[in-house]
């Protein structure tokens, strides 16, 4: 008796049949790019954990300072050229470079 080979069924709606030896001609270039991307992703995730931990340190120190909250519940202060804001909802912390204050013409005229 002859051995029957299993039949491959038709693809269901939304599925694709397995492709045999079909791929882009520049597969090596794509693979190289994917490997570089995965390396960057791994490094980014490692730094993200460090960033989260450091933000927690800043938040803990800002709470420890016992600064008075503003009317909207925020704690806001400047520190070394940065503006630090702690929002009351889930104690979110934002740190951004402070914008330099612009001098007004009236202030300059008053000083003359």
The dihedral built from the CA positions of residue 57, 60, 63 and 66, taken in this order, carries a sign that is negative
Q: pTM of the full predicted structure?
A: 0.49
Residue 39 or residue 101, greater confidence: 39
Helix (H) or strand (E) segment spanning residue 54: helix 27-64
In a domain, 88, yes or no: yes
In a domain, 2, yes or no: no
For the chain, the domain total comes to 1
Q: Residue 55 pLDDT more than 50?
A: yes
**Local confidence band at 20 (pLDDT 50, 70, 90 cut-offs):** low
**Local confidence band at 3 (pLDDT 50, 70, 90 cut-offs):** low
Range of the domain at 47: 27-101
Q: pLDDT at position 76, please?
A: 85
Rounded to whole angstroms, how far apart are CA atoms 38 and 66? Answer: 43
């Amino acid at each position: 008796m002859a051995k029957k080979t299993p039949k491959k069924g038709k693809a269901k709606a939304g599925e694709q049949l397995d492709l045999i030896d079909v791929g882009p001609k520049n597969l090596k270039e794509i693979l190289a790019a994917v490997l570089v991307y995965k390396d960057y992703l791994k490094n980014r995730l490692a730094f993200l954990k460090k960033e989260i931990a450091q933000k927690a340190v800043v938040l803990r120190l800002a709470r420890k300072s016992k600064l008075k909250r503003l009317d909207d519940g925020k704690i806001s202060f400047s520190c070394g050229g940065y503006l630090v804001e702690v929002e009351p909802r889930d104690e979110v912390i934002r740190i951004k470079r402070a914008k330099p204050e612009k001098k007004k013409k009236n202030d300059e005229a008053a000083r003359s």
